[in-house]
Amino acid sequence: MPPIDELTRIEPAHIERLDHQGVFTTGLLLEVSETPTRRQTLADQVSADTNDVLMWRDEALMLNLASFGPAEHHLMIQARIEGLRDILALDLDEFKERARRASGELSVDPPTDLTLEGWWDQARTLEE
């Protein structure tokens, strides 16, 4: 599970508060924010609002896709894909095209079609 500080849409103060609550990985964040009641409780504990928690959760879901690491996260940011909801908003061809375009902009090899299809399928499976 990626560490919580890999989330790009979270302020350092909230990372510190989450760490104080024992939430130091994205997996733990997903666990403690699984239901609306849990999201509200977490928001109250870290002085955030539930929209913040939903945004963190969205990005954490993306970071926990299979074969997804820091380089892939950077690629998705370049492709203007910040979380699972952004993947869900795209059809497969558009998702592949944005990833390829971002790879070119970063001068890195793009993920294989199989990898991109896997992420796209996983996003649909994780859809809440």
DSSP secondary structure letters along 39-66:
HHHHHHHTT--HHHHHHHHHHHHHHTST
pTM as predicted: 0.91
Same domain, 56 and 84: no
Give the pLDDT score at 127. Answer: 82
Rg (CA), the chain: 15
State the residue range of the domain holding 13. Answer: 4-63
Average pLDDT, the chain: 95
Q: Cα–Cα distance between 81 and 25 in angstroms, integer?
A: 21
Residue with tokens 């896997």: 118
| Domain total in the chain | 2
Do 122 and 92 lie in a common domain?
yes
pLDDT, tens only, 22-46: 999 999 999 999 999 999 999 999 9
76 and 58, same domain (yes or no): no
pLDDT tens-digit map of 82-109:
999 999 999 999 999 999 999 999 999 9
In the prediction, which pLDDT does 128 show? 60
Shared-domain flag, residues 92 and 51 = no
